[in-house]
Structure 1
Amino acid sequence: MTRHVTFMTIDDAGHYTPEQRAAIVAAYPAHEREARAKGIPVLGSGRIFPIAEELIACQPFRLPRYWPRLGALDFGWDHPSAAVELAWDTEADVVYVAKACRASQQTPAMQALTLKPWGEWLPWAWPRDGRRETLDGAGVALAKQYAAHGLNMLSRHAQFADGSVSVEAGLMEMLDRMQSGRFKVFSTLLPWFEEFRLYHRKDGQVVKLRDDLMAATRYGVMMLREAVVDPAEFRAGRKRSAGQSDPLAAFR
């Protein structure tokens, strides 16, 4: 028997006006609001990111092309492979999760077909298990398989500048950014928020279940220093004469 969990929040109750929804939520005790209004359960020994969604969610917008960007992958088969694209507003030091996708039982070739339209120039962060050989890849490491299908994979697996790969350090970097307003997620990325709501610990340990987009995001945050600007921005800048108008001026 196949089972599926669908999350609905009070915002999906279209028969209420925004004012009525706000009044209903305000009537709940503060510590019950996310569970009652958004269906977010309290799991294990606690959520990894105890942050209200409205503090990190933002409406999608056209990304300024001069913002550095980075893709990040989490490999999988029966549990999904996942990918996100991060955009970095370096002036305000705010990271935006602008794209996200997740799929099970997809080969590197199939994943590449989905991800290459994000930009063939886009660099991709990847985890340590990308060095492993796989049977379907005839002994070729996963990261090399993705590279062979046209993704611009970084030369080394995701790690901090000092070479460390601490999961906890990556999670704390994400949490610190969330708490300080320096981490935002496009509100349309529903699978990302599904994982965000359920990401939790049990007996102090991270529960590695339905955490694929969370893991990909963590790898991207760890490797944010490798984010680059779309090369087309530089080409456009060189071709534009001093007297020409700049079609991207509104986004600068």
Structure 2
Amino acid sequence: MQELKRRQDANKLARYKPYPKQVEFHARGATHRERLFRAGNQLGKTWSSAYEIAFHLTGQYPDWWPGKRWARGVTGWALGESMESTRDTLQRLLLGRPSEWGTGTIPQASILDIKRAQGIADSVDCIFVRHVSGGVSRLYFKSYEKGRSKLQGETLDFAALDEEPPLDIYTEVLTRTNATKGIVWITFTPLLGMSEVVRIFLQNPTADRSDTNMTIDDVDHYSKEERDRIVNSYPEHEREARAKGIPILGSGRVFPVAESLITVPDFQLPDLWPRIAGMDFGWDHPSAAAWLAWDRDEHILYIYAALREREHTAAEFAPGILSFGPWIPVAWPADGLQHEKGTGFQLAEQYRQAGVNMLHEHAQFPETGDESGNKISRVSVEAGLQSMLQGFKANDPAEYARQQELLNRAGRSHEKPMRIRVFASLGDWFEEFRLYHRKDGKVVKL
């Protein structure tokens, strides 16, 4: 048994079995130069990085590997906040602990040489690794603390950054891969909130950038009881960052509501429940649509399906909408009246021509006036958001009772407060929900 364990420890690479979110992160390396892997604490994000580094250094890609591949020896960097933190995270996972080098993700038989760093106990400067092509790969360990100027000059195939770097460090590291058209990835828990680095991935997307989010619910190495205990152990304002990789947004969140309050298991919807979809037009930020069913008896709206795609024309996005039922009416915002430069047709009309059952006019509130008889705008994003927030909060029994009391006082005791619930399977919807926030008082489109 001891010999078996020794052999397994000497070749962890062959036994890597990633979760679906880890596979998604690796796969995007084939199509994106820049990747962010946002995840909660102790979920496996740094292990993902360590395994990917080892695959590139050795060329020992498994058959299932969906990411980028090199058929030659490569040169890369592994970086952390300090040399001590780099030693204790990426170095430890790649090599094993100081007295056990060769038991990390890099197979012992592939390690040709290890050069120690000066001045920091057990810290490594460079690893030389045998690549299956017969070439030699090199991995250097670096840190953010020495500043941008210490990272200049080198040409790299890849760089892996563990924990969030300052923007100037990230930009300099990315520059090191320009000549080789290499790749850079970052793994961290976003405790710094909507920082500059987080912002460029979430708010300034490009064809080169990818953001993958893994939550505590995406991993199997914790039971439900353990998940609950872990989440409850965190300070309340850090829970979503530490458990779900959601940037701490504080008062900037549009929907400051616990997901557990609005989430329900998927179920078969009764045929008699009315359905409607709502969509938002996009290009750089995704086009998106969500489908709702209304339980009239209980006055509950269920969001049961969602779709989002970036850089899709109406002709490309419409088939996805139609797949959920071409008969379902689709509400759309006022910017659907804008004309598309290429065709001259209004955006909403393009979807109609593609067969989507668009409502005859854009979404708006019923016409009302103030006490002076002045008409109030029927188009209000803020009013819509507040209605949604009220519907989310009404799932709490105490809040539901409060809203019912307000209806009673208004002489509307025959009405029930509206509640909004969301099917648990809608991962894309929840990603938007978690990050929807305001900056300088304005809602930021993601």
TM-score (norm 2): 0.45
- 1-side partners of 2:307 and 2:218: how far apart? 22
The answer as to whether partners of 2:240 and 2:248 remain within 8 angstroms in 1 is no
Q: 1:91 to 1:6 in 2, by over 3 A?
A: same
Tell me which stretches of 4 or more aligned residues in structure 1 moved more than 3 Å.
none
Query: Secondary structure, in 3 states, of the residue corresponding to 2:305?
Result: strand
- 1-side partners of 2:222 and 2:284: how far apart? 40
- 2-side partners of 1:25 and 1:120: how far apart? 41
Shift of 1:44: 6.9
Query: Secondary structure, in 3 states, of the residue corresponding to 1:6?
Result: strand
The answer as to whether partners of 2:237 and 2:248 remain within 8 angstroms in 1 is no
Matching residue's letter, 1:192? W
Once the two structures are superposed, the pairs formed by residues 125-144 of structure 1 within 5 Å of their partners are: 125-136=331-342, 138-144=343-349
The answer as to whether partners of 2:314 and 2:354 remain within 8 angstroms in 1 is yes
Which residue number corresponds to residue 164 of structure 1? 378
Shift of 1:31: 3.3
Does structure 1 residue 22 correspond to structure 2 residue 236? no
Does structure 1 residue 177 correspond to structure 2 residue 383? no
Q: Which runs of 5+ in 1 are unaligned?
A: 211-252
Does structure 1 residue 48 correspond to structure 2 residue 254? yes
Which residue number corresponds to residue 65 of structure 1? 271
Query: Secondary structure, in 3 states, of the residue corresponding to 1:118?
Result: coil
The answer as to whether partners of 1:34 and 1:52 remain within 8 angstroms in 2 is no
Shift of 1:61: 0.9
Deviation sequence 1:19-68 (CA, Å, 0-9, x none): 22222222223333222222222227421100011111111111111111
Which residue number corresponds to residue 444 of structure 2? 207
How many residue pairs end up in the alignment?
A: 208
Which residue number corresponds to residue 9 of structure 1? 215
- 1-side partners of 2:330 and 2:365: how far apart? 15
The answer as to whether partners of 2:238 and 2:248 remain within 8 angstroms in 1 is no
Which residue number corresponds to residue 154 of structure 1? 359
Name the Cα RMSD after superposition. Answer: 1.6
**Greater Rg, structure 1 or structure 2?**
2
What is the aligned-residue identity percentage? 54
- 1-side partners of 2:217 and 2:311: how far apart? 33
The answer as to whether partners of 2:278 and 2:332 remain within 8 angstroms in 1 is yes
Q: Which runs of 5+ in 2 are unaligned?
A: 1-32, 34-207, 368-376, 396-418
Query: Secondary structure, in 3 states, of the residue corresponding to 1:196?
Result: helix
Does structure 1 residue 198 correspond to structure 2 residue 404? no
- 2-side partners of 1:23 and 1:117: how far apart? 40
Which residue number corresponds to residue 122 of structure 1? 328
Q: 1:44 to 1:15 in 2, by over 3 A?
A: closer
- 1-side partners of 2:327 and 2:219: how far apart? 42
Shift of 1:109: 1.8
Deviation sequence 1:77-128 (CA, Å, 0-9, x none): 2322111111111111111111111112222222222221222211110111
Matching residue's letter, 2:426? L
Shift of 1:207: 1.6
TM-score (norm 1): 0.77
Which residue number corresponds to residue 283 of structure 2? 77
